[in-house]
Amino acid sequence: MISWGRRIIQIIGCQYLHILCILLCVMTTKNYHRTLFEAKQDLARCLVKRQKIDRKVARLQAVISDLENLCAELDQKDLEQRVDRVIKADLTVGITESARVILKEKFFPMTASELKESIEARKHNLSTYSNPLAVIHTVLKRLVQSGEVRMVPQAKGKKAYQWVSPTDKLLSELRLTNQPAVQKHGGLKESK
C-alpha cells in the first residue's frame, strides 16, 4: 500500500505538473510567435544584405570582364612589340651573319649576286654601303679562308659559294689523313 504522504505528493506533483504544462504551453506559444517575428526580421535583413551582395557581384563581374578585355589587348600589344623587337634585332644582324645563315639554309651553291638578293629579301638594309656586292665578296672571301664556306667553280668562270657542314669538314679531314703526302722532289712521303 501506498502511504498517505506519498499519495499527497503524487497528487500535488500531478497538479503541479499539470500547471507547469499549461504555463509552458502558453509560454511556448508566445515564444513561437516571438521567434517567428524575429526569424522574419532576420530574413528581411539577410535579403537586404543579399541584394547588396548581388549588386556588388554584378558590378565586380562587369569590372572583371572589362579588365580581362583590357589585359588581352595589352598582352596582344606587348606580344606585337616583342615580335617587332625580335624582327628589328634580326635586321641589325651583320652581313657576315646573314650570309652564314642563308648559306646554311641553302643546299646548292650561291653566287655573290644571289646571296645579295637573299640578304635584301630579308629586309637587311644594304643602302648604307656604297658597293654592297663588294662587301659581300669580301665576306665570302673571309668565310672561305676560315673554312666555313667553299668556293664552287661555275660555268663561264663564275664562282659560287656553299656552306661547309661539320660532316663535310670531317670527311675532308679523313680524306687528307688517308692520302699519302707527296714530297717536292716527286717521291712519296709517309702519312701520319
Per-residue pLDDT reduced to its tens digit, 118-165: 888 887 778 888 999 999 999 999 999 988 898 988 888 889 998 888
Residue 139 resides in a domain: yes
Q: Are residues 35 and 106 in the same domain?
A: no
Q: For cell 699519302, what's the residue? A: 180
Residue 145: predicted pLDDT: 93
Domain boundary among 26, 60, 92: 92
CA atoms within 13 A on the CB side of 25: 6
Residue 147 resides in a domain: yes
- Max CA-CA distance within the chain? 156
DSSP strand pairing (188-189 vs 181-182): antiparallel
Percent of the chain, pLDDT > 70? 72
Q: Are residues 47 and 70 in the same domain?
A: yes
Residue 179 resides in a domain: no
Domain boundary among 70, 92, 114: 92
Please give the tally of structural domains in the chain: 2
- For the entire predicted model, the pTM comes to 0.45
- Picking from 136, 144, 143, the residue whose alpha carbon sits closest to that of residue 118 is 136
Q: Tens of pLDDT along 23-67?
A: 666 656 677 778 888 888 888 888 889 888 888 888 888 888 888
Count the helix, strand and coil residues of the chain and give each as a percent rounded to the nearest 5. 75, 10, 20
Q: Are residues 103 and 164 in the same domain?
A: yes
Q: Which domain holds residue 144?
A: 95-174
CA atoms within 13 A on the CB side of 6: 3
